[in-house]
Structure 1
Amino acid sequence: MNFTLLKEFFAGFLRTRRIGRHFRRLALLDSLPQTDAGGIGRELPQTLSHSLVEAAHSDPAALLFRLDSHSDGLSQAQADQVRERTGPNEIEHEKPLSWRQHLWLSYRNPFNLLLTLLALVSFLTDDMKATTVIGTMVVLSTLLRFWQEARASKAADALKALVSNTASVLRPGQVRAAEVPIVQLVPGDVIHLSAGDMIPADCRVLGAKDLFVAQAAMTGESMPVEKFATQRDASVVNPVALDNLLFMGTNVVSGAATAVVLATGNATYFGALAARVTATDRAPTAFQSGVNTVSWLLIRFMAVMAPLVLFINGYTKGDWMEALLFALSIAVGLTPEMLPMIVTSTLAKGAVILSRRKVIVKRLDAIQNFGAMDVLCTDKTGTLTQDRIFLARHVDVWGEEADEVLDMAYLNSYYQTGLKNLLDVAVLEHAEVHRELQPARNYRKVDEIPFDFNRRRMSVVVSERDDHHELICKGAVDEILAVCTQVRHGDQTEALTPQLLARIRQVTDDLNEEGLRVVAVAMKEVPPTQDTYGVADECGLTLTGYVAFLDPPKESTAAALKALAQHGVAVKVLTGDNGRVTAKICREVGLEQQGLLLGDDIERMDDAELAAAVETHNVFARLSPAHKERIVRRLKAGGHVVGFMGDGINDAPALRAADIGISVDTAVDIAKEAADIILLEKSLMVLEEGVLEGRRTFANMLKYIKMTASSNFGNVFSVLVASAFIPFLPMLPMHLLVQNLLYDVSQIAVPFDNVDDELLRRPQHWQPGEVGRFMVFFGPISSVFDITTFALMWFVFGANTPAHQTLFQSGWFVVGLLTQTLVVHMIRTPKIPFLQSRASAPLMAMTALIMAIGIFLPMGPLAHYFKLQALPPLYFALLPLILLAYVALTQAMKGFYVRRYGWQ
């Protein structure tokens, strides 16, 4: 047995509800009342609403003074003092449970309550042995779960620390803003915000440039709202309608700002609203619904069969109290008390293994969704490609080398303060341009017009001399051409005619065909008469040329795509990039293009047309965030289990819409918050490993469910037959409980079992109806050999009177336990067990141990204590024949079942 893996597993044991508590901010936001901006403010406490309005209308200097802060922020010592008073920046539902609450939750489940009832009945009937056995089961189950979840809480905190978000905080005397964990923010901290940042607390804007914030989760407003440093309308008293307030849980779409923190944790707008609603889990996933369906199938089966056993035994034996105890024991035996633990431990084991492979699982159910995924939607940059873009060409409008174009692109990237993407980084790597231009000495920044996903361009305005300003704009070719009226070639400038436009498009198309990503550069000179510029100023520009970038494909991409295809996962590329570049990269990595669809095409499609198109196309380019989300939703509506991998602001809606959202640790805050899985390495190879681990996890869970369902059905059928024809109980309640306990213990190693390669080749989905059919097919097989054992004990060994019932019960106890344990190996694979498919060492060892204990109990010194007795030698001569016949019949039935229904 791999004790290192066992130790690591228990250390990393994570339950879905506990770990979900740490990452539920967005889920909670989704559950908040969605009203218009005018209505939601009335749900705030009056004191909080008043303080927010007062802060919004205060003079910045007075506000900072009231917060004991300064324009350059709090010192570390001041921040620590404030934190002692206000506490960490967390909302209340994220705080850990007390140990008493945790212990109660560990105990409180229907199965423990049922066992407790049975123990109480045993105690009242003076059956202290049964009381002790049942009580021990309850105590051990509760304490084990309590211990595992306490360890899980620490593991969850460690995982959370790995993906926790930070804020850029000003500290006096520091040149650069410090990256501080959001949880450490305090009122009075001055922070920098830029595109992609989550708003970490309630803040007042001190300075802003084209700041747009998405606060739909708070107010229901579908469009981002612009925020300013001042409140324009002094009569506004609704906090969310104020121009200069930012709220925890919203996010910056574009622009930049400096803001002071007003409130943190429970004192925030978000905290006040969160206190008014219950933090609930997400809507049940297909995985959760499948587990619940199977659980209730078994519980309903128990609810029907236990009263039937009570009636038959009470009527035929005349001892209703003993019949009641026996029926309750049957109820316990039928109760899938190990199902929650097996499911959770299997998921936890998968999370531990994935963590070794640089995959952090935020939500345990996502592991099974990994295995069920049959469509993976992914971006192009950094996934198919190396995510290491370098500047390959800088050319004029006709494709000839031009240093002037590189100079303008450099100034644009150097002076912009928004989210610098990889293209900007590639431009800024040209240190020789910096030395030549010396921007700090020769240029002065006047203003900037930040990038947004609708314009797909950004501009800076610089002053080289005092007699004019230069507006330098770079962005997507089509969007730049839309605001250009002239073209410059060398020293010549001419009007942009349709003929020139066609020639320009030919040049850019040729660059795209080479696999280069083309960014156009344009400019215009304007008089130095204004200090503030906006989108309206992006007009009448002169196209000067292009900077072209190369992002080579990853060497591992082709192999990863091939592996995913072999495992039944279709890969679809969703990108905002140029269609030609995307198609070229797809060809290079071996992704056979089944059709290219552009964002403009999607815009013209209704849902029915798009639903058909997403089935036949696998490359989608020039997409907006709304397009990506819409594609994912259409795929889900078509019956697919969809994964989406993204790391940008524009990926957040699709990440939330997908069955499994996948992001990376270097992603923007909002993308990491929306994801279910965080990759520490942006690689499709890592995803392939996750898919396989998800399928192993699902296969092992399904093994236990099938074993439990078929064994329970067979046992109850055998009990009904024995109760109807035998003048004593075929097994005492204690025997049933001990047998059930031993069988459950043998299942503990199921999460560590091997899985046949054939079961990993295709996505696995929950099919609750399959469980019922499987139960009916395989359950009665064990009953055949139970009845054979009854006949053997009755006719061969003479155990046919109440005086010899202990011998009868001992004989069935051993056969019942051994066949139940053997079924683990029979049902874990459609192949021939032990020969074509071998269980893992932990499972082999555990089942062998339980079988040995099952034989030892009636034959050893504890037999009297358990009301058993030693069996004759002839019994053990016949026992192997019974077991071999059981194995042979089960294998024959498996062959018939696989041919007719297949094997999941």
Structure 2
Amino acid sequence: MQQALTLSERVIAVLGARLGLRYFKRDPIPDGLDTLDVPAHGHEAPPGLLDAARTAAPDLLVRLQSRRDGLSDDEAATVRAHVGPNEVEHEKPLPWWQHLFQCYRNPFNLLLTVLATVSFATDDTEGTIIIATMVIISTVLRFVQEARSNKAAEQLKAMVSTTATVLRRDVLDGADPAAMVRGGRLGREIPLSELVPGDIVLLAAGDMIPADVRVLAAKDLFVSQSALTGEALPVEKFSHASDAAGTNPLEYDNLAFMGTNVVSGSACAVVVSTGARTFFGSLAQRVTAQERTLTSFQQGVNRVSWVLIRFMLVMSPLVLVINGVTKHDWLEAALFALSVAVGLTPEMLPMIVTATLAKGAVMLSKKKVIVKRLDAIQNFGAMDVLCTDKTGTLTQDKICLERHTNVWGQLSEDVLEYAYLNSFYQTGLKNLLDVAVLNHGELHQRLDVVNRYRKIDEIPFDFQRRRMSVVVSENGEHHELICKGAVEEVLAVCDRVQHGAQVEPLTPELLTQLRRVTGDLNAEGLRVVAVATRHLPPVQEAYSVADERELVLVGYIAFLDPPKESTAPALKALAAAGVTVKVLTGDNDLVTTKVCREVGLKVSGCVRGDEVEKMTDAELATCVARANVFAKLTPAHKERIVRVLRANGHVVGFMGDGINDAPALRAADIGISVDTAVDIAKEAADLILLEKSLMVLEQGVIEGRRTFANMLKYIKMTASSNFGNVFSVLIASAFLPFLPMLPLQLLTQNLLYDLSQTTIPFDNVDDEQLAAPQRWNPADLSRFMICFGPVSSIFDVLTFLGMWHLFGANAAEHQTLFQSGWFVEGLLSQTLIVHLIRTRRIPFVQSIAGWPLLVMTGMVMLIGIALPMTPLAEYFRMEALPLAYFPMLAALLLGYAVLTQMVKTAFTRRFGWQ
């Protein structure tokens, strides 16, 4: 059980963003459900999961007050009013007062609260007010930004559908007959949250299990429960009542659970539990207290934060001792040390990070990219390798049936008819190939499908066999198994070939000739699907994979999926942005390489899945660094390639929309899917594209880098500025006969400086910072602090000398003038560093900040200059500065800007600029 808890965390983390899918289903109810004939209402209490597993299906429906054809809308509404929506409770937003407390409760605010308490205890009213103001501003700004972010996230979720397929007794007028299921019942799509116990749900390959359900009828139903149990292989589910005596619901093979997904087959099931009453919901309540693993960016931010806090814990006592010994006023020294501690606290860091990520998510939504997890934005900007499928990404995803030929490549109507019957009667996941075949609706009348054929059974598709079969009865005379799938996989179960009216043995010479025909079709960019048949006596009603043998190959259907016009420019843009594109597909290698050439992707090596299978991890690591096209891959191959790329040091994004993509989506640093994907793919993804296009993705990558760059700016500014200020304070404390700045003045300066940075999330970002992937590098930040911090101290010392020698502020009676002069210079130099460090270019000339940052920093600088000259100067114990001070101030600021630019240039040449 403990193993299940640990492995479930990643599912619980994304349950709130889990997305649904609408399927085109025909006759999806497996045989067996029609034999259930139960009354509409019962009087027993709703059963638990174990009781549901052990109860016969008719009795279970009675206890759930349901029927084989489901509930009516009114009945479902009544049940929903009693049990609530199908939502896990931990997903609900916190009440505003709890959210406000969460925003307050961070190490910086708690530390400032302690400092404010100390100030209050020492009768430092002004200091208490200013520190409290800092805490209030930081908390309120974060609260507002997170509330806006949550609201935006809910609006973005509403842009994609979250549905399940259910049977409701209400027969809708004007319904599409193609959606009708046997018995006159209608399969309808409803929001997941509207499911209630007693609902009858229809399941097919690719579906997420929308609640805890008991299987009523199943056909080759395999469910992946790895999210709950850690089992790598799918588990087969059955419809019979279980006689097991175990107490673990996961051990019962007729139950399926919320959060798991259908790998293959189809089923009809009744909902037993919804929302927090599900196995998943009860599990979530027990593990949500466990913290999610931190991303590299979060770990780096925390590391920097605690470095500054430890730095403060060391330097503040040192400042206290130096000032106490030299000034002999220990109370004033304590208040000053307290103010230094406040100045070293990056209290705006949580708000800046939250605001930047929230703004990034909103901006990405305008680029048609929905962010399910805000922290994923950092990985989006750092991504340097993108693995993507071919179909629908490089191509138009509008597949048309181009040819239907016999085994010799000659036009054949018989092959098309067999393919139509197979696609028409299959109930699993209908892909675009099936849709293209079914577009030949004229065959329906010509074959007289309704009167002439009856479906007997189906052998669903899976990614190991790469083929599927249906068995139909023609006029009740015989059974015909019709199989279609990948050429090699179908050939593996064929021993004969249709040649006109004759059937020939499949000899090695003939096999070589057949492969030449399919190879020629592939070379033209056509995707080839083989079609084979087998005539059987009408003596059995159930068929399995073992019956796919001794087939007769009748021919091929070939499809064309033209390349997208936007693919070539998108690939160029991604390459220019430093992102290497690698194609991972289950399709044929010849087709894939031809499409790659047509869209301008230079193929540096094409590797097939069977070759990947034979490689060791070391060999594959070398291979993935060289090759950029991988074909005929299984889901396991895709996942392994992604993991090896990550082990090679890359930040890997994987873009996929199919069931077979889910393992790779989870293995990647950032999983990317589309809103039309199967729901298991969307559940595993971090980002959802509203348009399946590499161009959309490229725009999203740039926006992710912009968001990351703005977050990094604040961290750089805070770290370097605080590091430099400590040196200035220590020097002044050691040599001056008075405090270089009063605690109230230091706190006010820090508050104004923090306000000047609140608009950093809205700043512009230089093009070169968007041109290459950006990765978090804490070591680079340490170098940055050491290189840039002392630069400000040089000009602080020059200010001390100027105030001492030029303006005579060299005694205790003139300390107000000294303190006013350093207050203005310190605030302006700190604010100026915002513009100096935000870019590697020359500020105001080669790179101009965004207007919100320009306005805010300009206002703060004007306030700083004006404060000593206003009536408030007396309150802050300042005095007006002489006019001669301002030329000195201008010269100091100019020198500071020039020296910082020189250091910046040298630093960039040596270490680069992030």
The TM-score by the shorter chain falls in which range?
A: over 0.9
Partner of 2:14: 23
Root mean square deviation of aligned Cα: 1.8
* Candidates 611, 624, 637, aligned match of 1:614: 624
Give the AA of the match of 1:365.
D
TM-score by structure 2 length? 0.93
C-alpha separation in 2, matches of 1:306 and 1:822: 25
Would you say the 8 A contact 1:26–1:674 is kept in 2? no
- Is it true that 1:598 corresponds to 2:595 in the alignment? no
Partner of 2:784: 774
Partner of 2:99: 102
Partner of 1:125: 122
Partner of 1:506: 516
User: What are the residue-to-residue correspondences of 1:232-631 with 2, within 5 Å?
Assistant: 238-631=248-641
- Give the SS at the match of 2:840: coil
C-alpha separation in 2, matches of 1:685 and 1:717: 49
Superposition deviation, residue 611 in structure 1: 1.3
**1:134-174 CA deviation, whole Å, 9 max, x = no partner?**
22222232233223333333322223333453110110033
- Is it true that 1:151 corresponds to 2:148 in the alignment? yes
User: What are the residue-to-residue correspondences of 1:182-197 with 2, within 5 Å?
Assistant: 182-197=192-207
- Is it true that 1:81 corresponds to 2:72 in the alignment? no
Partner of 1:809: 819
Superposition deviation, residue 243 in structure 1: 2.2
- Is it true that 1:788 corresponds to 2:798 in the alignment? yes
* Candidates 633, 656, 673, aligned match of 2:683: 673
**1:722-771 CA deviation, whole Å, 9 max, x = no partner?**
00001111111111111111111111121121221122221111111111
C-alpha separation in 2, matches of 1:531 and 1:560: 52
Superposition deviation, residue 249 in structure 1: 1.3
Superposition deviation, residue 103 in structure 1: 2.1
- Is it true that 1:63 corresponds to 2:60 in the alignment? yes
- Give the SS at the match of 2:872: coil
Superposition deviation, residue 308 in structure 1: 1.2
Would you say the 8 A contact 1:722–1:730 is kept in 2? yes
C-alpha separation in 1, matches of 2:230 and 2:909: 53
Would you say the 8 A contact 2:142–2:354 is kept in 1? no
Alpha carbons of 1:24 and 1:731: their partners in 2 closer, same or farther (altered >3 Å)? farther
Partner of 2:775: 765
Higher mean C-alpha deviation, range 825-834 or range 517-526: 825-834
C-alpha separation in 1, matches of 2:134 and 2:345: 13
Would you say the 8 A contact 1:397–1:545 is kept in 2? yes
Would you say the 8 A contact 2:828–2:864 is kept in 1? yes
C-alpha separation in 1, matches of 2:81 and 2:151: 23
**1:245-301 CA deviation, whole Å, 9 max, x = no partner?**
111111100000000001111211222223333344432222222222222222222
Would you say the 8 A contact 2:48–2:272 is kept in 1? no
Would you say the 8 A contact 2:671–2:686 is kept in 1? yes
C-alpha separation in 1, matches of 2:56 and 2:159: 39
Higher mean C-alpha deviation, range 98-107 or range 418-427: 98-107
C-alpha separation in 2, matches of 1:544 and 1:592: 36
C-alpha separation in 1, matches of 2:600 and 2:736: 69
Superposition deviation, residue 593 in structure 1: 0.8
C-alpha separation in 2, matches of 1:646 and 1:576: 12
**1:164-185 CA deviation, whole Å, 9 max, x = no partner?**
5311011003343111111221
C-alpha separation in 1, matches of 2:753 and 2:245: 72
C-alpha separation in 1, matches of 2:102 and 2:561: 52
Partner of 1:852: 862
Would you say the 8 A contact 1:20–1:281 is kept in 2? no
Alpha carbons of 1:121 and 1:565: their partners in 2 closer, same or farther (altered >3 Å)? same
Higher mean C-alpha deviation, range 160-169 or range 84-93: 160-169
What residue ranges of structure 2 are gaps of 5+ in the alignment? 1-9, 19-44, 172-179, 181-185
* Candidates 838, 844, 865, aligned match of 1:828: 838
**1:492-525 CA deviation, whole Å, 9 max, x = no partner?**
2111111110000000000000000000000011
C-alpha separation in 1, matches of 2:233 and 2:625: 30
**1:800-849 CA deviation, whole Å, 9 max, x = no partner?**
12221111110000000111111111111222111112212221111111
C-alpha separation in 2, matches of 1:380 and 1:860: 68
C-alpha separation in 2, matches of 1:161 and 1:797: 65
C-alpha separation in 1, matches of 2:248 and 2:843: 69
C-alpha separation in 1, matches of 2:391 and 2:115: 60
Superposition deviation, residue 105 in structure 1: 1.0
C-alpha separation in 2, matches of 1:744 and 1:136: 12
C-alpha separation in 2, matches of 1:269 and 1:726: 69
Superposition deviation, residue 120 in structure 1: 1.7
C-alpha separation in 2, matches of 1:126 and 1:236: 67
Would you say the 8 A contact 1:21–1:93 is kept in 2? no
C-alpha separation in 2, matches of 1:752 and 1:522: 61
C-alpha separation in 2, matches of 1:577 and 1:233: 44
Would you say the 8 A contact 1:22–1:94 is kept in 2? no
What residue ranges of structure 1 are gaps of 5+ in the alignment? 1-18, 28-47
C-alpha separation in 2, matches of 1:366 and 1:348: 12
Partner of 1:219: 229
Higher mean C-alpha deviation, range 680-689 or range 822-831: 822-831
Indicate the percent of aligned positions where both proteins have the same amino acid.
Answer: 68
Would you say the 8 A contact 1:56–1:244 is kept in 2? yes
Partner of 2:135: 138
Would you say the 8 A contact 1:367–1:690 is kept in 2? no
Alpha carbons of 1:763 and 1:147: their partners in 2 closer, same or farther (altered >3 Å)? closer
C-alpha separation in 1, matches of 2:511 and 2:753: 77
Superposition deviation, residue 20 in structure 1: 11
Partner of 1:11: none
**1:432-463 CA deviation, whole Å, 9 max, x = no partner?**
22231231222111111110111100011111
Would you say the 8 A contact 2:593–2:603 is kept in 1? yes
C-alpha separation in 2, matches of 1:784 and 1:59: 84
Superposition deviation, residue 334 in structure 1: 0.9
Superposition deviation, residue 588 in structure 1: 0.7
Would you say the 8 A contact 1:231–1:242 is kept in 2? no
Number of residue-to-residue matches in the alignment: 866
**1:342-397 CA deviation, whole Å, 9 max, x = no partner?**
12211211111111111100111211211110100001100000011000000000
C-alpha separation in 2, matches of 1:691 and 1:799: 55
Partner of 1:160: 157
Alpha carbons of 1:848 and 1:548: their partners in 2 closer, same or farther (altered >3 Å)? same
- Give the SS at the match of 1:192: strand
Partner of 2:828: 818
- Give the SS at the match of 2:60: helix
Give the AA of the match of 1:733.
P
- Give the SS at the match of 2:846: coil
Superposition deviation, residue 648 in structure 1: 0.7
Would you say the 8 A contact 1:360–1:678 is kept in 2? yes
